Structure 1
Amino acid sequence: MFQEQLAVQRARQSFQTGKTKPLEYRIQQLKRLQVFLWERRKDIAEALKRDLNKSEYGAELFETVVLEAEIKLAIERVVEWAAPRPVEKDLLTILDEVYVKPEPLGVVLIIGPWNYPWTLTLLPLVGAIAAGNAAVLKPSDISTNSTKVMKEHLPHYIDEDVYPVVTGGVPETQELLKQKFDHIFYTGSTTVGKLVMEAAARHLTPVTLELGGKSPCYIDKNCNIAIACRRITWGKFLNCGQTCIAPDYILCESSIQNRVLEEIKKCIKEFYTDNPKTSEDYGRIINQRQFKRLMGLMEGITIAFGGDADESQYYIAPTLLKNVTGESKVMKEEIFGPLLPIITVSGVDDAIQFINKGEKPLVLYVFSHDSKIIKKVMAETSSGALLANDCITHFIDSALPFGGVGYSGMGCYRGRHSFDQLSHLRSCLIKQLNMEAVNSMRYPPHTTKKLALARFFLLRHVSLSWLRRMLMLTMLAGLAAYVAQRFQ
């Protein structure tokens, strides 16, 4: 039997014992995950340095701190999240118990990506543990050093039978996808996302797909261009551009194109010095395949700045491209690297039209002082998220659901959204064996009188809060009448 089958079988058997359901167990496992991140932080940082040339500071800031915050939140709130959730009653349920009860789904498969191999693999795990599931972890085979650390050390901290780590490449992933799961959580490309969804459909397994796409960035000519470009530069070249929510391209009017170019050049030099290749804070492309793909995207394009490359180190400098059109090669796929095309438009309407010609992006960025422009872009486009006057930071707020729409994905997570995504929200209605006089309206023989009664109960939509108000008004009216009569 393959290791994949054994891992799934072991996780399924563990879940069926009921060991993951008690809140005490969930909290204990989350605390063990906390300890893992703290005790193995140096191993994690070293792995990220070898995989993506991330600095120790960058590894902590953009990988482990986000995880620590998510775990802390889950530990503090899991009791609240898992509690039955009362719903509003109506005339038909006024005397009944009515609530939604979150329940674990079962065994969840989590397929992680290579660009943020810790954050984007373990964040869904936090949600899976909090929701009381078992989970099979499949970290990326591309970020090999991070995967090795995860495989070797994570089982010493959290329950290996419930949360096994399966490693390997495409064959192992394909074998995993043949197994039956209760939910699949995949982060990666749209191409592979389609294959994951196809495999899940064979078992009618629900999926969360965190994909990507070409996230546009519109700069209004009247905004503070210097600050806008500073934030765009940071968001774009973070992790060498290998971020699913990085600004993929800039849209701006031709009158400010040169200013935008100059400001971004200035920020690149400020952040990464005149030679980014020597900067501790500038990463590397993950492998040769991605390096060659990115180099190919620059063919036939005017390089306004940067363009330096060293295949021996998988290094590509922060690069600005101009004279780009919608038909350019670099606009035909998600860039996922340190290339930033600038496309000129005549204004916000033209920018919106350009955006809407493509697939719905994971995030849409707009920089403007004018709230009317921001609201116009929001109203006339669709994206997983919209962020005005900044980049990336919406991901940090765990109160916001993170996820795509259409080609950029389906489903969402972060904080309570992760818990709900990986739970079954079970509807519960507890009635008593009485009140048959009211219930008789549904029993044959059907009559005009019964129909009229049913219409009253079903079409009035009288809520319990309304009934309380009416009861209070009736009591106050009665009290007022009594006082008036008493003191006549």
Structure 2
Amino acid sequence: MGLTSRRTAPPRASKQHDDGVGRAPTVRDVHVQLRDASATRLMHTRRMRALQLKALGRMLVEGEQELLDALAADLGKPAVEAHLTEIDLVKHEVDFALLHLSEWMEAHHAKIPMLLQPASAKTEPQPKGAILIIGAWNYPVQVLLGPLVGALAAGNVAALKPSELAPATSAAIARLVPRYLDRRAVQVLEGGADVSAELLGLEWDHICFTGSQRVGRIVAEAAAKHLTPVTLELGGKCPAVVLDGNLHAAGRRIAHGKILNAGQTCTAPDYVLAVGQGMEKLPEVIHRAFVRFFGRDASASRDYGRIVNRKAFDRLVGFIEDAEIDRSVRVIGGGYDAETLYIEPTILVGVDPEAAVMQEEIFGPILPILTVASLDEAMRFINARPSPLAAYLFSERPRPHSVFEDQVRAGAIAFNVCNMHAAVSTLPFGGVGASGMGNYHGRYGFDTFSQLRPVFSKTALVDTLKIAYPPYRKGKTRVVRSVNLGSAGRQDVDVKPGDKPGM
């Protein structure tokens, strides 16, 4: 993502920003400004948080066409798809956060062990401070502004680094954000690997990065130098296991999940494991779904996107060419056009598990289908590889659901559908292991960008702690050890702040 480009354009926040003398602010200028705003508690009040969230919502409505045009220019994204997977998803996150903001900001009372009474305790969410959000090119609106919703709701200020691999969208966001959001609270920095590296060299209170595992390691290493917590959304090879049920419905849903954004989706089914006999028709079923979606020539469809750039295109074509050379592999589709960065929805049947296409996330409209003998074999296949961002099982039987849920390690599990869990604000979105760490969406985004701070209060009018002071004679030791400080049982009393403690 942001660290992979060799572009050397000078860092900038926006053409509209300046420091009063006509000079565009540098990365360090922006960092200092955001640090100052955080120190003044600019975003701590509910009113300020709500104002910025509402402004972000207005930006998505009033700047909608500008964003749609940019997404079409960068990825050939159809307007309906751009609405559903980018703009509308962030709008929903904004509305959801505004609806629940007061509830999320509330302190929660905690129980106090009897030995420590009279006292009161609570936990209260506090803003972490200055947040760095580094976006990805495949969903350049959603994965940049989605985390911003959680950061603003939690009362933070934020620096946004859009992906330079989606230049039109990056420029659109850099133009729109300062028109709507308080420039003290949110700043946009465009640029390539040099800007990302400079940002990562500075101290932030949290970093949220979406992108590849390789770059995720770079981000984590840079953050470790400042002991900065990170949220990493890294993708991986998400499997779809087809066991039983409506084969035609499964085929359509796998096809739809795979081909969204021309396959450039981190939760897309990366490969299919067809279990047992009776699955011979599955490749044709999925292929017919592709034809139904886009016609026999997907290049003529207004609803089908394009590959982001020539580098990604050449890599994907290499997978197709390798499969065509291997006579044991059946290629369904496989057409492409370098001039328009078009790759036809393609199915590879009978791929060797050790083939290059099975060693890394495909991130394109190519779907390998492998056959396995049983669900157990499918789960062993999945678990022998790095943990994916999501794993899908197509079956109508409860028992396989239970077994799959229990034994497969993935960022998310979904049954009989692909990708949909990522659109639900009441579910956390995030990976595990190689597919990432941390999560966001809805309340989970608020919690990610908050410090859950404990507050403990005890009166000193009467020193009831004398029983715990040295010297520890036999009787005192017996009394102290008889009380479990960590217990939440009968001996605990829930005293709320404001209650008058008994003596």
TM over 0.5: yes
Structure 1 position 443 matched with structure 2 position 469: yes
Distance verdict in 2 for CA 1:459–1:139, change over 3 Å? closer
* Cα shift readout 1:411-468 (whole Å, capped 9, x = no counterpart): 010001000000010011111114534x223210012222221222117835369879
Residue equivalent to 1:234: 256
Post-superposition offset of 1:140? 0.3
* Cα shift readout 1:257-288 (whole Å, capped 9, x = no counterpart): 42111110111111111111111111000000
- The structure whose RCO (Cα within 8 Å, separation 6+) is larger is 2
Residue equivalent to 1:289: 311
User: In structure 1, what is the Cα distance between the partners aligned to 2:295 and 2:285?
Assistant: 14
**Native 8 Å contact 1:91 1:462 kept in 2:** no
3-state DSSP of counterpart to 1:68: helix
Larger radius of gyration: 1
3-state DSSP of counterpart to 2:95: helix
**Native 8 Å contact 2:114 2:492 kept in 1:** no
Distance verdict in 2 for CA 1:93–1:74, change over 3 Å? farther
Of residues 266, 272, 283, the one that matches 1:250 is: 272
* Cα shift readout 1:64-110 (whole Å, capped 9, x = no counterpart): 11111100111111111111112233324553221111001110000
Structure 1 position 203 matched with structure 2 position 231: no
Residue equivalent to 1:483: none
Greater mean alpha carbon deviation, residues 282-291 or residues 82-91: 82-91
Post-superposition offset of 1:300? 2.8
Residue equivalent to 1:476: none
**Native 8 Å contact 1:223 1:368 kept in 2:** yes
**Where does 1:34-49 land on structure 2 (aligned, <5 Å)?**
34-49=57-72
- The one-letter code of the counterpart of 2:88 is V
**Native 8 Å contact 2:257 2:419 kept in 1:** yes
Residue equivalent to 2:20: none
Residue equivalent to 2:425: 398
Structure 1 position 169 matched with structure 2 position 198: no
Residue equivalent to 2:460: 433
Residue equivalent to 2:379: 352
User: In structure 1, what is the Cα distance between the partners aligned to 2:344 and 2:230?
Assistant: 37
3-state DSSP of counterpart to 2:187: coil
Of residues 118, 128, 133, the one that matches 1:95 is: 118
Structure 1 position 51 matched with structure 2 position 107: no
Residue equivalent to 1:268: 290
3-state DSSP of counterpart to 2:306: coil
Q: Give the TM-score normalised by structure 1.
A: 0.93
Of residues 331, 344, 351, the one that matches 1:304 is: 331
* Cα shift readout 1:343-380 (whole Å, capped 9, x = no counterpart): 11111010011011100111010111111111111111
- The one-letter code of the counterpart of 1:288 is R
Identity %: 39
User: In structure 2, what is the Cα distance between the partners aligned to 1:107 and 1:236?
Assistant: 36
Of residues 337, 340, 343, the one that matches 1:313 is: 340
Runs of 4+ in 1 over 6 A off after TM superposition: 465-468
Where structure 1 has 5 or more consecutive residues not aligned to the other structure, the ranges are 469-488
Residue equivalent to 2:354: 327
Distance verdict in 2 for CA 1:448–1:332, change over 3 Å? same
Where structure 2 has 5 or more consecutive residues not aligned to the other structure, the ranges are 1-23, 324-328, 495-503
Residue equivalent to 2:5: none
3-state DSSP of counterpart to 2:236: coil
Of residues 379, 388, 398, the one that matches 1:371 is: 398
Post-superposition offset of 1:299? 3.3
* Cα shift readout 1:27-82 (whole Å, capped 9, x = no counterpart): 00111111100001001111111111111111111111111110011111111111
**Native 8 Å contact 1:91 1:463 kept in 2:** no
User: In structure 2, what is the Cα distance between the partners aligned to 1:95 and 1:244?
Assistant: 52
Q: CA RMSD in A?
A: 1.6
Residue equivalent to 1:383: 410
User: In structure 2, what is the Cα distance between the partners aligned to 1:448 and 1:267?
Assistant: 79
Distance verdict in 2 for CA 1:19–1:307, change over 3 Å? same
- The one-letter code of the counterpart of 2:339 is S
Residue equivalent to 2:49: 26
User: In structure 1, what is the Cα distance between the partners aligned to 2:333 and 2:128?
Assistant: 49
User: In structure 2, what is the Cα distance between the partners aligned to 1:61 and 1:399?
Assistant: 17
Residue equivalent to 1:154: 177
User: In structure 1, what is the Cα distance between the partners aligned to 2:302 and 2:116?
Assistant: 63
* Cα shift readout 1:233-268 (whole Å, capped 9, x = no counterpart): 100000000000000100013523421111101111
Residue equivalent to 2:215: 192
